[in-house]
Amino acid sequence: MSASTSPSRLPFLNRDHSILAFNERVMDWARRSEVPLLERLRYLGIVSSNLDEFFEVRMAPQLSAFKANEQRGLYTAQTYAEISAKVHELVAAQYAIYNDALLPLLEKKGIKLVAHGERNQRQRRWVKDYFQNEVQPLLMPVGLDPAHPFPQVANKSLNFIVRLTGKDAFGRENEIAIVKVPRILPRFLRMPPVKGSKQAHFVSISSLIRSHLADLFPGRQVTEFSQFRVTRHSDLAVDEEEVKNLRTALRKGLQQRHYGEALRLEVSAGCSQHLLDFLQSQFNLPVDALYRAPGPVNLVRLNQLIDQVDAPALRFERYNAGWPTQLVPGQSYFERLREGDVLVHQPYESFDAVLAFLREAVEDPDVLAIKQTIYRTGAKSQLMELLREAVRRGKEVTAVVELKARFDEEANISYAERLESVGAQVVYGVVGLKTHAKMLLITRREDGRLRRYAHLSTGNYNPGTAKLYTDMSYLTADEALTSDLEQVFLHLASQNRLPKLNKVLLAPFHLHKAMIEKVDMVTAAARAGKPARIVLKMNALTDEPMCRALAQASQAGVKVDLIIRGACILPVQLPGVTDNVQVRSIIGRLLEHSRVFYFQADDVEEVWLSSADWMNRNMLRRVELAWPVTDPALRQRVIEECLSVSLSDTRDAWLLLPDGRYVAASTTVSAKARAKLVSGQAILMERHGSKG
């Protein structure tokens, strides 16, 4: 690209390819010999889970363009073929790691998946007994004929297709049968130990069933069979303008989600062409959508095997999150927040502190009202029980429940109903917009007046993911900030116009424009010869106007450091355009999730925390928050722990190249530095971890 190229004509990187490149980086952890063996297996499962979601959410328009053989938006038959080729390459690498590296290493450690041909007589008897007593009663093989057409096969469910010889009970030669495997059955079973052996022997449910398929078809012979799994389009689309009751409409949509358009077919590696052709015609899928799996068709379920192995040496050393450095156990949160704001850096510091804040509010007789947004809270939520208890204690509880949190819809509908059943005020935000902001507002009577306290977060109110995701929790009694949050809650409930806010930036109203203005502010400082710097940390960067603003900043001489875990469409190191832009991705033991925005323009230095990534949907089709960190000490802590530590990482960091590929940062440093690689996550775990 020439130096005269305008940022308005940037050749953006392909978003889908960027997502797949992220999964390649995740898979690298399954390759690393220094990573504990069971954790390497878990990373393979994470990649499989990510690919499932990729197909469920991203592949429908690609396949549609392919089938129509015409351009539909950004998608064509060619883009579908290119994406499919990349996924096939990724899946092949997955199974190579699984079969050639991890299974042999597991066997050396005494953990073995025992195939039918390897089982001794005692194990075969156990497998047969288990099949007859626990599995066969739940199986209902369906022989296909005009009265029994191909059955509905649910999204991501395990099934068998069987080819038979001989005749059925009515003298017909219907040769194809389908066997659905109920989700309730465990996918991996630990067999009784061999006497005198310390080995842990396992059998997969697919291997167990295939060993006894003939038992399901007495009087006939099974000549061919294969396990198979179909991935379907699962992004719920509900016209909120048309429906009268969003909750009812979503519930109906959830029932249909399991049977959306087929997008991918996975079969056993040894599946015959005859059976493959039959399945392909049933699901109306092109050849590129077919995947032969030399192993379990669903590597995500390997977590069930991992959880049954008692081998601490094969797992990450247990990490115990420390209590937040700014909090004293037992001290009243209200008393502490009157002294100043508090940061909790999760999961290095314990999310239990956030739950304790809510618990104190629930139990405090002077607290009158609690308002909270609910996006993802986990299947069994302490937070929900605390809100219900608050209602029972006579407090006014308002919950803004996001019913359309992808793949959490069912849990959130249930939470909404449970909160309403005890008298909480439940609202569903603004029609057409997801409420993704994470905020909790507490109103308390003190000395004859009302005072507000708040919690804001870059992450979710989920105690489970709070142990795995890096996020910033922000506790405050700042009157300007809490007043803004009161207005945001009123807006979400009443849908009245927002008044001018003091500190908070709110999407879809202000956030997009304000962030571009911040970049422009830094760009102007650089053009005036003043100090200028931008450092941004987020999960994804896919908004084109924001990318163009960053390219203009780079052209003006601004050093732009982007810490983007996942998809990034901004090309780097384009001469005269993005030479000053560096993009790095941190893939570590923990999932990088915090959103932190740093802008320096001359003597102005701003740090913002946010619930939003720089994606078009986040800025213009969601309710998102960003708020400034104004306390100098807290601001410096955010800079150091979220930004500087990531920029110094040489072990878990990957650097984006101009062609969209990533290279490990460890390969770009000197031999001396390579001997002592730096992990930002390890530094923070050491700094904040509980020593007890």
- Domain map of the chain by residue range? 15-314, 333-501, 507-688
Q: Which string of b and e fits 609-644 if b means at least 16 CB within 10 Å?
A: bbbbbbbebbbeebbbbbbebebeebbebbbebbbe
Separation between Cα atoms, residue 158 and residue 162, nearest integer Å: 14
Q: How crowded is residue 533: how many other Cβ atoms within 10 Å of its Cβ?
A: 17
The 8 Å CB, 24+ separation contacts for 494-500 are: 495/430
Four-CA torsion 585, 586, 590, 595, nearest 10 degrees:
-60
Cα separation, 555 vs 526, whole angstroms? 10
Please indicate if the annotation marks 190 as binding a ligand: no
Which of 146-160, 520-534, 664-678 is predicted most confidently? 520-534
- Rounded Cα distance between 460 and 567, Å, is 20
pLDDT for residue 1 is more than 50: no
Dihedral sign (CA 256, 261, 263, 268): positive
Strand 559-564 versus strand 532-538 pairing type: parallel
| Residues in contact with 103: Cβ distance below 8 Å, sequence separation at least 6, in sequence order | 113
Is 376 marked as a binding-site residue? yes
- 375 labelled as ligand-binding? no
Least confident piece of the model among 233-237, 418-422, 482-486, 607-611: 233-237
Which of 353, 423, 409 is closest to 377 using CA atoms? 409
| pLDDT for the residue numbered 429 | 67
The predicted model gives 579-600 an average pLDDT of 98
Those residues with Cβ within 8 angstroms of residue 486's Cβ, 6 or more apart along the chain or in another chain: 441, 452
pLDDT at residue 363 greater than cutoff 70: yes
Other beta carbons less than 10 A from residue 487's beta carbon? 18
**Total residue length of the chain:** 692
The whole-number pLDDT of residue 197 equals 78
Q: What is the DSSP string of 588-603?
A: SSSEE--EEEEEEETT
Among residues 600, 303, 643, the alpha carbon closest in space to that of 470 is found at: 643
What mean pLDDT do residues 81-99 have? 98
User: Could you tell me the pTM of the whole model?
Assistant: 0.93
For residue 358, what are the CA distances in angstroms to 417, 461, 470?
Answer: 21, 11, 21
What is the predicted pLDDT for the residue at 495? 83
Please state, in angstroms and rounded to a whole number, the distance separating the CA atoms of residues 368 and 681.
40
Mean pLDDT, to the nearest integer, of 122-148? Answer: 92
Q: Please identify every residue annotated as catalytic.
A: 436
Predicted confidence (pLDDT) per residue in 110-119, tens digit: 999 999 999 9
CB neighbour list of residue 183: distance below 8 Å, 6 or more residues apart: 157
**SS3 call for 384:** helix
User: DSSP H helical segments within 498-564, as ranges?
Assistant: 511-527, 544-555
Task: Supply the pLDDT for residue 242.
Answer: 45
Lowest model confidence (mean pLDDT) among 8-17, 287-296, 516-525:
8-17
Angle between helix axes 77-96 and 37-68 (nearest 10 degrees) is 160
Output the average pLDDT for the chain.
Answer: 91
Amino acid at 675: A
For residue 219 the two structure tokens come to 């009087």
Which residues lie closer than 8 Å to 316 by C-beta, 6 or more apart?
Answer: 36, 39, 589
Q: Is the peptide bond before 7 cis (omega within 30 degrees of 0)?
A: no
CA–CA dist 282, 129 (Å, integer): 34
pLDDT in tens, 606-629: 999 999 999 999 999 899 999 999
Question: pLDDT band for position 585 (50/70/90)?
Answer: very high
- The answer to the question of whether 148 is labelled as a binding residue is no
Residue 3 above 60 pLDDT? no
Angle at 188 between CA 184 and CA 191, to 5 degrees: 120
Integer CA distances (angstroms), 16 to 27, 54, 86, 227, in order? 17, 9, 10, 28
Assigned superfamily of 333-501: Endonuclease Chain A (3.30.870.10)
In angstroms, the CA 501 to CA 441 distance is 16
- What is the per-residue pLDDT for 408? 55
Taking the chain, what is the end-to-end CA distance rounded to the nearest angstrom?
56
The letter for the amino acid at 20 is L
pLDDT at 194: 79
Q: What is the mean pLDDT of residues 86-95?
A: 98
Structure tokens at 147: 């009265």
The position carrying tokens 């052209």 is 555
- What is the Cα–Cα distance from 550 to 530, expressed in whole angstroms? 17
Q: In which order are the strands placed within the sheet that holds 188-190?
A: 111-113, 200-204, 188-190
Contact 272, 163 (CB under 8 A): yes
Residues 6+ apart with CB under 8 A from 663: 654, 655, 657
3-state secondary structure of 165: strand
Would you state the pLDDT for residue 250? 47
Query: CA dist 263 to 60, 254, 464, Å?
Result: 7, 18, 31
CB 618 within 8 Å of CB 545: no
The identity of residue 579, as a single letter, is D
CA 40 from centre of chain: 18
Assigned fold of 507-688: Endonuclease; Chain A (3.30.870)
- Strand, helix or coil for residue 584: strand
Q: Residue 534's pLDDT is what?
A: 98
Burial of 101 (0-12, 13-18, 19+ CB in 10 A): middle
In 392-484 the beta strands, taken as DSSP E runs, fall at 396-401, 425-427, 434-435, 438-446, 449-457, 469-476
- What is the rounded distance in angstroms from the CA atom of residue 245 to the CA atom of residue 249? 6
- Torsion angle of the four alpha carbons 108, 109, 114, 118, in this order, in degrees rounded to the nearest 10: 40
Report which of residues 329 and 563 the model is more confident about. Answer: 563
Nearest to 613 by CA among 434, 486, 480, 380: 434
Tell whether residue 548 is among the known ligand binding residues. Answer: no
Report residue 150 as tokens.
């191909």
- Domain 15-314 fold is polyphosphate kinase like (3.30.1840)
Q: 132-170 as b/e, with b when 16 or more CB fall inside 10 Å?
A: eeebeeebeeebbeeeeeeeebbbbbbbbbbbbeeebee
Instruction: For residue 481, list its beta bridge partners.
Output: none
Q: Largest alpha-carbon pair distance within the chain?
A: 90
201 known ligand binder: no
Q: Which residues pair with 572 in a beta bridge?
A: none
In this prediction, residue 252 has a pLDDT band, given cuts at 50, 70 and 90, of low
Per DSSP, the three-state class of 681 is helix
